[in-house]
Amino acid sequence: MISPCTRRTKREKDPFVTLNIPEALIEETYLAALISCWLCSFVLPTEAVCLIRLAVFVAASKLAHGECLNLAIPTLASIYWGLHTISIARSLNKLEVIFPIHYVYGWLGTYFQTYFDHPHHRYGHPKMVRFSSEKMNWTPNVQEARELLKCKDPSVMYPNALMKDTSITLIDTQNLSSSWKAYLICLRSGFLTLRQGRTIVIEPYVLCKFGRQFGFYQDALSEPRMNDREGTLLDVARYWFNLTEHITRSSTSVTIPAPPDKKSTLVTIAYANWWRSSRGDLFSQGPKYPRGETVQPQRASKVRVVDDESALVVTSGKASAHKPIM
Amino acid sequence: MSISLWDLRAIGGLPGDSACYEEVIPSARELLATGRGDNDIPVTCSSLSLHSTHYAKMFMASFNLLLPNGYASGFEGRRFTHLLPIVTTESELKFQQTHHVHLV
């Protein structure tokens, strides 16, 4: 934590005297300078990690003045871009991709407990403080990583979800609180955008990738425009508006589900079929798959499938009628 | 599983519901025109904030036209659809013609 500065030295005040800037703006100016560093080195780092980009000054000034800016969308766009760039790399050699990966570490620590808690973390501090400091991470071996990814206890998927004991219905109007509005934006498919000067980043944001973390069914990814990562500045403006503004003016009723039964695995039939055809028993087998060996798709041994009200439970390949799990 | 906007808000405290963030250096013309009531849309149109404002006005004016396109309403119980909201091409064209958009 940075304690507030109680007094400025003559050297710190001189530039303001020279430029004839009112004394009341001194603290705001220094705060804007600090926020500029924070934006460039922590929130949205680029290739020039050690440099302050001139283009952040407008945004930093707005933030220092008290205006709230949506930092989640550009930051997540940068993260998705970085991970996508790594995923399509043609070799396993070192790759220079700069993006705020510390948020990914924080996400891993939140969902998979891969970090030890920082000794000085207190309730009320930002969650990322829990996962700070060196040598605080726990690196699982292959077998342990497979166990983690199985998520045997579905409740590990909801550490950040806003859920009540019973499902609640929201009407997305302008009267929603800031938190619920942000929650609805999060639950909306669209495109994430980041504009840094002439550089434009557009990344698809598809709810079925993380819907289960908010109590919805896991559905198969069947988005025809998921590879649409190119666009003009006008596209960026349109995507931004569609994701953040449009939904909050349509008065749509949205049901936020209650926490699912711990024993239920909420996936749709389409997803289960996709998983069987493309992954088989990958995670239920032993840890050893020699490099280059093809994993043959196999029938899932035990998958609980839920699909709308006429839900079916598929166990060991046999389908039977079952009451819906809500 | 994946990282969502809400995760970034919960983990890193990054706001996810406010004005748009962009990194752009205002032009000298734009800075000089500030506060003069200049009606000409400056190259400011490079500013996404302005774009969003125009889109908002355009949307409110043509709400009935846009609604049948199937916005939202994708949530039923635990189900959701993957419909992407897309502003109609006619509206975009009208917007560009009306406001003489210049992009830099």
Give the residue extent of every domain in chain B: 5-99
pLDDT more than 90, % of chain A:
12
Whether residue A64 is contained in a domain is answered as: yes
Say what the pLDDT of residue A76 is: 95
Residue of A nearest to B51 (CA): A237
Helix extents (H) in chain A: 10-18, 26-38, 57-65, 72-87, 102-112, 127-130, 142-150, 178-186, 233-241, 269-278
- Measured CA angle at B51 (ends B49, B53), to 5 deg: 70
Taking CB atoms and an 8 Å limit, are A183 and B60 in contact across chains? no
Among A190, A186, A189, CA closest to A178 = A186
> HSE of A139 in the Cβ direction (CA atoms, 13 Å)?
1
Helix (H, G, I), strand (E, B) or coil at A230: coil
pLDDT tens column, A116-147: 777 777 776 767 777 776 677 777 788 888 77
Say what the pLDDT of residue A18 is: 87
Most confident of A74-83, A183-192, A202-211, A241-250: A74-83
Q: How many domains is chain A partitioned into structurally?
A: 2
Residue A112 class from Cβ within 10 Å (0-12 exposed, 13-18 middle, 19+ buried)?
middle
Q: Across all residues in chain B, what is the average pLDDT?
A: 53
Helix (H, G, I), strand (E, B) or coil at B38: coil
Chain A 103-142, residues with CB within 8 Å of chain B CB atoms = 103-104, 106-107, 110-111, 126-128
Say what the pLDDT of residue A83 is: 93
Taking CB atoms and an 8 Å limit, are B19 and A68 in contact across chains? yes
B25 CB within 8 Å of a chain A CB:
yes
CA gap A164, A32 in Å, rounded: 39
Q: Which domain holds residue A308?
A: 267-283+295-326
0.90 cut: is pTM over it?
no
From residue B64, alpha-carbon distances to A5, A50, A180, B34, B58 in Å are 53, 49, 25, 35, 11
Helices and strands in chain B: count of H runs, count of E runs: 5, 1
From residue B62, alpha-carbon distances to A76, B86, B90 in Å are 31, 13, 11
From residue A220, alpha-carbon distances to A251, A267, A314, A316, A324 in Å are 27, 9, 17, 20, 19
Residue B44 near residue A198 (C-beta atoms within 8 A): no
Mode of pairing for the β-strands spanning A312-315 and A318-321: antiparallel
Whether residue A222 is contained in a domain is answered as: no
As given in the structure block, the two tokens for residue A253 are 């009723």
Single-letter code of the amino acid located at A104: V
Of B21, B51, B72, nearest to A250 by CB-CB distance is B72
Helix (H, G, I), strand (E, B) or coil at B12: helix
Whether residue A271 is contained in a domain is answered as: yes
Whether residue A25 is contained in a domain is answered as: yes
Helix (H, G, I), strand (E, B) or coil at A251: coil
Q: CA quadruple B49, B54, B56, B57: dihedral positive or negative?
A: positive
Residue A176 near residue A170 (C-beta atoms within 8 A): yes
Whether residue A93 is contained in a domain is answered as: no
CA distance B30 to chain A (A): 13
Whether residue A81 is contained in a domain is answered as: no
Say what the pLDDT of residue A244 is: 82
Contacts of B17 in chain A (CB under 8 A): 70, 178, 181-182, 185, 244
Single-letter code of the amino acid located at A300: A
CA distance B64 to chain A (A): 10
Whether residue A274 is contained in a domain is answered as: yes
Least confident of A48-62, A107-121, A269-283, B32-46: B32-46
> Is the pLDDT confidence value at A264 over 50?
yes
Residue B1 near residue A213 (C-beta atoms within 8 A): yes
Contacts of A205 in chain B (CB under 8 A): 5
Whether residue A226 is contained in a domain is answered as: no
Say what the pLDDT of residue A82 is: 93
Task: Provide mean pLDDT across the span A59-69.
Answer: 87
Of B14, B26, B71, nearest to A71 by CB-CB distance is B14
Say what the pLDDT of residue A36 is: 92
Residues, chain A = 326
A253: enclosing H helix or E strand:
strand A253-256
